Amino acid sequence: MPQNPQTTILPPPAVIFDVESATLFEDASRRAAMCATRGGPRRLAQLRDVVDGVFATPRQERAQDRMVWTTSTCGEGAAVRAHGVSMVGQVNVRADSASYPGILYRGAFIIETLRAFAPNLALTREQLADPVVQQRFLMREDARASKRLPNDLRFFRTTICMVREQPELAIRLVQTNPVEQSTAAVQAHLIERTRGCTGYQKQLVVDPFQLRAFVADALYRWTLAVRDVDTLIPTQRASVDRNKARSVN
């Protein structure tokens, strides 16, 4: 598996956006992502380009840009409008760690994909330690990683390790609301239990929004490897609803 050098660190706190602005962007991106996962075949195809596309490539960037714009109406909640902030036109969707809003949107699309199409997700360390699963992961992600920008790749490798070591905590972090107080405890626990992934640094100060986005990214990739599939996103929403109905009955 990819090894993390001692210099690898988690995403630092954003220096451009304050906590209030970050919260607004997180809320807007979450709403937009919820709209995306509830769409028809065309919207789901666009979502696959965003979530399953190779990050930092023109095709994936265009797909995310298009998705942000087409879901902007339902993406801007009351809190955003009350502050007079328009997400559309201000979002740099380039999949670069320097693009803070772009990371939040990317993370939100992945998180909502997991919620919508893998609602009962459960992974174990034993599953992720399976050589067959690891080989699948490497075959898929090694090629994709070559397109990631340096910071993006460094943070992604860190969270690959964190999810591999503590998949249950990673799932809990992704499923929680980043602004809730309990989320901080889950984040702290995850970092403490995976200190080897961050070079055993004595003190880490991270941005909870970015951390959650990168953990979701790594969690999604591991899930594909465990299930031996190329995507979790169906071709049409009806198939998802039928599967849920069967599970209830």
- The pLDDT profile of the chain, 249 residues, written as one tens digit per residue, is 444 333 345 666 554 455 666 677 777 788 888 888 888 899 999 999 999 988 878 888 888 888 888 887 665 544 444 444 444 444 444 434 346 777 888 898 999 999 999 999 999 999 999 999 999 999 999 888 878 888 888 889 999 999 999 999 999 999 987 767 788 899 999 999 999 998 888 777 788 888 999 999 999 999 999 999 999 999 876 555 544 544 443
Residue 12 lies in a domain: no
Distance CA 136, CA 158 (A): 19
Q: Using CA atoms, how far apart are residues 32 and 26, in angstroms rounded to an integer?
A: 10
Q: Per-residue b/e over 115-125, b at no fewer than 16 CB within 10 Å?
A: ebbbeebebee
Long-range pairs, 60-68, Cβ under 8 A, ≥24: 60/95, 61/93, 61/94, 61/95, 64/93, 64/95, 64/102, 64/105, 64/106, 64/109, 65/93, 67/32, 67/36, 67/105, 67/109, 68/32, 68/93, 68/105
Residue 81, domain extent = 19-248
Residues 228-232: contacts with CB under 8 Å, at least 24 apart: 228/136, 230/52, 231/48, 231/51, 231/52, 232/113, 232/114, 232/117, 232/118
Report in angstroms the alpha-carbon separations of 231 from 40, 44, 220: 17, 11, 9
Task: Supply the pLDDT for residue 87.
Answer: 44
Local structure of residue 198 (DSSP, 8 states): G
Note whether 16 and 99 are within 8 A (CB). Answer: no
Tell me whether residue 104 is in a domain: yes
Q: Is residue 11 part of a domain?
A: no
Question: Which pLDDT belongs to residue 48?
Answer: 94
The model carries a pTM of 0.82
Predicted pLDDT of residue 238: 53
At residue 63, the pLDDT reads 87
What is the model's pLDDT at position 75? 53
Domain total in the chain:
1
Structural domain contains residue 152: yes
Residue with the two structure tokens 């954003």: 14
- Decide if 9 is inside a domain: no
Structural domain contains residue 3:
no
Q: Tell me, what's the pLDDT at 183?
A: 85
In a domain, 4, yes or no: no
- pLDDT at residue 158 in the model: 93
- pLDDT number for residue 76: 54
- Residue 6 falls inside a structural domain: no
- Tokens at 7, concatenated: 């210099």
